[in-house]
């Protein structure tokens, strides 16, 4: 941002919007003009194309019945593979290394069941203390299933500041007794990006397999999983990819692991041309499809067909460029307008370490989030005192960023947050 006060006026924000090459995509989404939605890192907004493809899949059910598995524009039997191919560029994978299936936690269970093979020397899983709880629950479960105690065999890298991780600390824990590493690509609270390329190289130097949770990075930042040699990854599609609430997840398995029997086998793990032979010995698919289990959730996949068409047009590099510019603008405005009110920016400020949202802390965070919602600004509260704000490149504007900070300033100046209890709701 230019070093002059005019840069903090609304006209500057409007000028940025006029120059925005992605501005036309805003009209693709159902955006309420009287509301500023800054929670796309929790649930992305519905696009009109996603709505259309849901209706198209419903229509195929209506018109084809069971023949929809092999007929129509998007045959259901091949849908997980077809959409996996479309997602592959967003994770930097080959088309056959990606499959759309399950959910984040189901896919993590599958991948850990497959790749966690403790022996007499290597029995531990390396994770971190800042990861989303469900990942830790799954890792604890898998360790128990192998007959070990999570308190002894799950190693969680400590954070020095409670917000970020030092990669050197992670590498230092890559010891001879570690069998598997599972880490987030982007920390869900602070938005810190971990250097996946470096961590993968360091893990492989020590003959340790490594995988990443991409929930807070897919659709927000570019990846090169195959180039980096990452062993596996998993994610949800309802945040930055706008795939709909509770929508189907996805996973990546590096082709060097093709042929490995899935740890959790199921009906759709099968090679397609063998599946209906109904044999009681599984012949797994020869690609990432082997790591599916149950029947694809066709109607939950449907929104992705439309959503991914937008990403293909807009380009993840362009999305990332605008995202960085918007989060920098937001941080600059917070520093300029809110310096007297006790807010602390906890996300990394460096571009190569900052994901698609910013994370600020304040002792009255829960109240402040409620006050923002009362003013039609949708943030995200994280216990105990964190506020996440995610200006999304495809549908948020710079003027919305500017307005949000001005409204937040008014809330603080007039102490409007004191009308609310400083405690989270049932869903936060």
> What would the pLDDT profile of 171-180 be if each residue is shown by its tens digit?
999 999 999 9
Instruction: Give residue 6's pLDDT.
Output: 85
104 assigned binding-site residue: yes
Q: Which pTM does this prediction carry?
A: 0.96
Average pLDDT over residues 52-73: 97
**Domain layout of the chain by residue ranges:** 5-30+315-419, 51-313
Tell me what the mean pLDDT of segment 156-176 comes to.
98
Given a cut of 90, is residue 126 above it in pLDDT?
Answer: yes
336 pLDDT above the threshold of 70: yes
Task: Return all residues near 426 (Cβ < 8 A) that are at least 6 apart.
Answer: none
Alpha-carbon span 428 to 425, nearest angstrom: 6
pLDDT of residue 140: 98
To the question of whether residue 362 is assigned a binding role by annotation, the answer is no
DSSP-derived pairing of the beta strands 358-361 and 386-389? antiparallel
- The CA-atom distances, in angstroms, between 118 and each of 115, 124, 135, 300, 373 are 9, 7, 19, 35, 48
257 is in an annotated binding site: no
Give Cα 371 distance to the centre of its chain: 27
**5-30+315-419: CATH number:** 3.90.1150.10
The dotted CATH code for 51-313 is 3.40.640.10
Per cent of the chain over pLDDT 90 is: 96
| Dihedral of the alpha carbons of 189, 190, 195, 201, in degrees to the nearest 10 | -40
The answer to whether 238 is annotated as binding is yes
Instruction: Give the rounded percent of residues in the chain with a pLDDT score beyond 70.
Output: 98
Residue 220 counted as an annotated binding residue: no
Name the band, by pLDDT with cuts 50, 70 and 90, for residue 2: low
pLDDT digits (tens, 9 = 90+) for 196-236: 999 999 999 999 999 999 999 999 999 999 999 999 999 99
Q: Would the annotation count 69 as a binding residue?
A: no
Q: What pLDDT band is residue 4 in, cutting at 50, 70 and 90?
A: low
- In degrees to the nearest 10, what's the CA dihedral of 204, 207, 211, 212? -50
216 is in an annotated binding site: yes
Q: Which two tokens stand for residue 4?
A: 């002059």
């Amino acid at each position: 941002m230019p070093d002059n006060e005019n840069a903090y006026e609304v006209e500057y924000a409007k000028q940025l919007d006029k120059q925005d090459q992605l501005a036309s995509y805003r009209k693709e989404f159902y955006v309420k003009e009287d509301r500023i939605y800054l929670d796309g890192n929790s649930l992305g907004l519905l696009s009109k194309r996603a709505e259309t493809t849901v209706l198209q899949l419903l229509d195929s059910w209506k018109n084809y019945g069971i023949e929809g598995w092999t007929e129509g524009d998007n045959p259901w039997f091949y849908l997980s593979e077809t959409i996996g191919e479309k997602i592959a560029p967003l994770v930097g994978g080959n088309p056959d290394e990606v499959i759309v299936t399950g959910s984040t936690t189901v896919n993590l269970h599958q991948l850990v069941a497959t790749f966690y093979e403790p022996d007499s020397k290597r029995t531990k899983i390396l994770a971190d203390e800042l990861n989303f709880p469900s990942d830790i629950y799954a890792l604890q479960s898998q360790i128990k299933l192998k007959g070990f105690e999570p308190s002894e065999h799950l190693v969680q890298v400590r954070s020095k500041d409670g917000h970020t991780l030092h990669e050197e600390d992670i590498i230092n824990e890559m010891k001879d007794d570690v069998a598997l590493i599972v880490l987030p690509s982007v920390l869900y609270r602070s938005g810190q990006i971990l250097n996946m390329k470096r961590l993968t190289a360091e893990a492989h130097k020590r003959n340790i397999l490594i995988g990443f949770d991409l929930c807070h990075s897919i659709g927000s930042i570019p990846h090169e999983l195959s180039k980096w040699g990452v062993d596996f990854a998993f994610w949800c599609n309802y945040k930055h990819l706008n795939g709909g609430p509770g929508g189907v997840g996805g996973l990546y398995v590096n082709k060097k692991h093709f042929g490995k029997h899935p740890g959790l086998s199921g009906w759709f793990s099968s090679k397609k041309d063998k599946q209906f032979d109904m044999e009681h010995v599984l012949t797994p698919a020869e690609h990432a499809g082997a790591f599916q289990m149950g029947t694809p959730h066709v109607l939950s996949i449907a929104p992705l067909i439309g959503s991914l068409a937008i990403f293909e047009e807009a380009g993840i590099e362009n999305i990332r460029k605008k995202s960085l510019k918007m989060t920098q603008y937001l941080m600059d405005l917070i520093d300029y307008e809110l310096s007297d009110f006790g807010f602390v920016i906890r996300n990394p400020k460096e571009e190569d370490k900052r994901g698609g949202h910013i994370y600020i802390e304040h002792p009255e965070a829960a109240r402040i989030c409620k006050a923002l919602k009362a003013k039609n600004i949708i943030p995200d509260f994280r216990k105990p005192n964190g506020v996440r704000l995610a200006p999304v490149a495809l549908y948020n504007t710079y003027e919305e960023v500017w307005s949000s900070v001005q409204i937040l300033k008014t809330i603080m100046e007039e102490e409007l947050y004191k009308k609310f209890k400083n405690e989270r709701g049932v869903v936060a």
